[in-house]
A and B are shown apart, each in its own frame.
Chain A
Amino acid sequence: MLTSLKRPAGEAAGVDLSSDRHRHLGRLLRTTTFRFALIYLGLFIGSVLLVLWLIYWSTAGFLAGQADTGIREDMQALADRYRTGGMASLAEAVNERGMGNASSIYILSAGSGATLAGNQFWPKGVDEAGWANLPVKDPSTGQVRPGDVRALIAVLPGGYRVLVGRDLGEVRVLRERLERVIGWSMGLALVLGLVGGLAMSRVWLRRLDGVTRTAEAIREGMLVSRVPLTGSGDEFDQLAHTLNAMLDRIEALVAGIRHVSQGIAHDLRTPLTRLRTRLELALMHDTVENPREVLEAAIEEVDHLLATFRALLAIAEVESGGNLPIAPVQLDTLALSTGELYDAVAEDQGITFTMAVEATGPAAMVQGNRQLLGQALANLLDNALKYTPEGGHVSLTVASDGPTRVRITVADNGPGIPAEDRERVRERFFRLERDQARPGSGLGLSLVDAVAQRHGGTLVLDDNRPGLKAQLLLPLG
């Protein structure tokens, strides 16, 4: 029972396997690589054919031409002998030449057709002067080879005729061998090309399969999967490397979005709850003395919420990489006008504010968005002034940082940021424990960081001993 159940299952598996193989072959044949291999093969065979034909044509033609020249020279020599020594001398010369020369034919015949001298009998049916191709009888095999003898016939006064010929059998053999070689090499190239094309497509397919599998895994939600690397450093590895870098970025962005959603949920819920309570209270006219005051406080709360919202959107816009208007921005003048905006605030809070612009002109010019850079600078100054106590000191400096970068430094002597939190303050909604009671959204430095990155620069947070030294390093443009 068990065996009878098993057998059809095994057969089914066998059928599946073969259909799988068919499908695999079909896939191979459909690959671009295989198609390229076919095209390449066609071109290759075409060009080889052309080259071989050229060789064939020139070799065969050269040999034939050489035979004709030899015949013509022989005929000339015989004509000279006839002119100087008459018929007797000619017959002698014909015999001399025909002796021991198997591949050449020399015949002198009378007008009646009787052979007078030479190494063969005069062939039948050959009377006219000029070139002729005659059949030849191979002495060893007795086979008649048509048209293998190339002959020149001259007619002398008195009906005498002279024939000089060459047996071109060897040339023909050579020609036939060439033809065979060409045929075989064509066939071989075709087979090798097809097999090679298939093998190449298989290799390529296998490499691409890694990419396809990774993409499928990611589509299924496994964001951590990556394209495997072979370590060869070839184009496929480079592609895999680039794809993996892209996937890293996407994963980071997704994680960022998740983090932000959590931040929004946490940081907006509290003020929204407060707002709701206030409005509910305002509705209870009996318990609230001045509902107008409550409404004003509610508006203030909403404004604060909107500011947080706007800051979030601004960060998202900077990070998303849309086309921001980019133009040359003079950081020296931007720093001066922003500094001047905050100078009054510093004075108001009893904080000494100093400004030093050391880099000017091209040494302070970057390609960027003035509004975003201005806001980044304003955020840094905002922060410094917010956390520096009365009597403290805040400074703003614009200086060169090597030949290719400009550095904007905002330094204060406030409480600073503990070293272990200096990375985390860039995260959205992250606020130091000690600042929780102060107003603020925890988005200020996130935006500065995003703006710096968008401009190809970095935000460096350092200890000012005491205080915070925030440096915005931007590439010159």
Chain B
Amino acid sequence: MKILVIEDDAQAAAYMLKGLKEAGHVVDHAPDGTQGLYLAGAEHYDALVVDRMLPGRDGLSLVSLLRAAGNDTPVLVLSALGSVEDRVTGLRAGGDDYLTKPYAFSELLARLESLGRRRAAPQAQATKLVVGDLEMDLLARTVKRAGKVIDLLPREFQLLECLMRNAGSVVTRTMLLEQVWDYHFDPQTNVIDVHIARLRQKVDKGFDQALIQTVRGAGYCLRP
């Protein structure tokens, strides 16, 4: 993926650039809003990382301007303001996802890849998801593995759908909590782990190859 990072803090940007490059992405950096706006308009990016507080032009107005100009590059907004209200204003300005500082780098990476994927292959209209021998029919709401029907509860179905849509990439616990339960807070206990364990019982038990994999320190990944 080709990613533009608009972040004024030089050290934070350097770490982010290093990490993203190591993950195999092409990364550009703009240290302020004005340069960021110029680059975002001039080049074609798969995703933008925009800090909310920027010198020159603040992050949210930059996103609004891009959207007004018809640029629909996915934007991940980074902010040191983490409140419920700020999140809502961030998304309303045209951001696609919102991450509060301090964040785990794995969280940033997973969210960016998810944003880039959503854009590269818009699956919203797809009626069927296939990962290896796992098949999901979105219309009939049925799941089969190697031709065998797997009975899932509605929530388990949503959980698996989220993993399948991001197949091959890491999906973090917070992302699952947000996308499946629409909760934007972190519960103290490992609720997601318990639900994944249940899903594993149904999807992977009895098969040689485990599809749902745990990525240490990051989250989960569905891989054929």
Contacts and interface: CB of A to CB of B under 8 A. Distances in A.
Contacts of A344: 191, 194-195, 198
Contact of A371 (B184, B187, B191): B184
B85 interface: yes
Interface residues of A, number: 32
26 contacts: A296-B216, A299-B217, A307-B186, A310-B82, A310-B186, A323-B85, A324-B83, A325-B88, A341-B181, A341-B187, A341-B195, A342-B191, A344-B195, A345-B191, A345-B194, A371-B84, A371-B185, A374-B183, A374-B185, A378-B185, A382-B187, A382-B188, A385-B189, A386-B188, A440-B188, A444-B188
B85 A325 contact: yes
A393 B83 CA distance: 34
A75 interface: no
B190 to A, nearest CB: 8
Given A348-B197, A371-B184, A324 B191 contact: no
Given A337-B181, A386-B188, 14 more contacts: A310-B186, A322-B85, A325-B84, A325-B85, A341-B183, A342-B191, A345-B189, A345-B190, A348-B197, A372-B84, A374-B185, A375-B183, A375-B185, A386-B189
A432 B102 CA distance: 30
B84 A317 contact: yes
B221 to A, nearest CB: 18
A372 to B, nearest CB: 7
Contact-residue size bin, chain B (C-beta under 8 Å from the other chain) = 20 to 34
A8 to B, nearest CB: 65
A369 B100 CA distance: 19
A379 interface: yes
A303 B184 CA distance: 17
Nearest to B177: A341
Interface string B92-116: 0000000010101000000000000
Nearest to B101: A306
Interface in B49-102: 82-85, 88, 100, 102
Most buried by A among B83, B189, B190: B189
Interface in B180-223: 181, 183-191, 194-195, 197-198, 216-217
Given A340-B155, A379-B188, A371 B198 contact: no
A13 interface: no
Nearest to A303: B104
Contacts of B198: 344
Contacts of A299: 217
A78 to B, nearest CB: 100
Contact of A314 (B104, B185, B191, B197): B185
> Could you tell me the dominant secondary structure of chain B's interface residues?
loop
A310 B186 CA distance: 9
A348 B195 CA distance: 10
Contacts of B187: 341, 378, 382
Nearest to B199: A344
A114 interface: no
A324 B194 CA distance: 31
A310 B194 CA distance: 23
A126 interface: no
Contacts of A191: none
A386 B190 CA distance: 11
B189 A306 contact: no
Contacts of A342: 191
Interface in A349-380: 369, 371-372, 374-375, 378-379
A87 interface: no
10 A-B pairs with least C-beta separation: A375-B185, A344-B194, A382-B188, A317-B83, A348-B194, A345-B194, A378-B187, A325-B88, A371-B84, A344-B195
A306 B181 contact: no
A268 B116 CA distance: 38
A379 B186 CA distance: 10
A345 B192 CA distance: 9
Most buried by B among A322, A323, A378, A379: A378
Interface in B159-195: 181, 183-191, 194-195
B153 to A, nearest CB: 9
Contacts of B83: 313-314, 317, 322, 324
B183 A378 contact: yes
A371 B85 contact: no
Contacts of A369: 84
A371 B91 CA distance: 15
B186 A296 contact: no
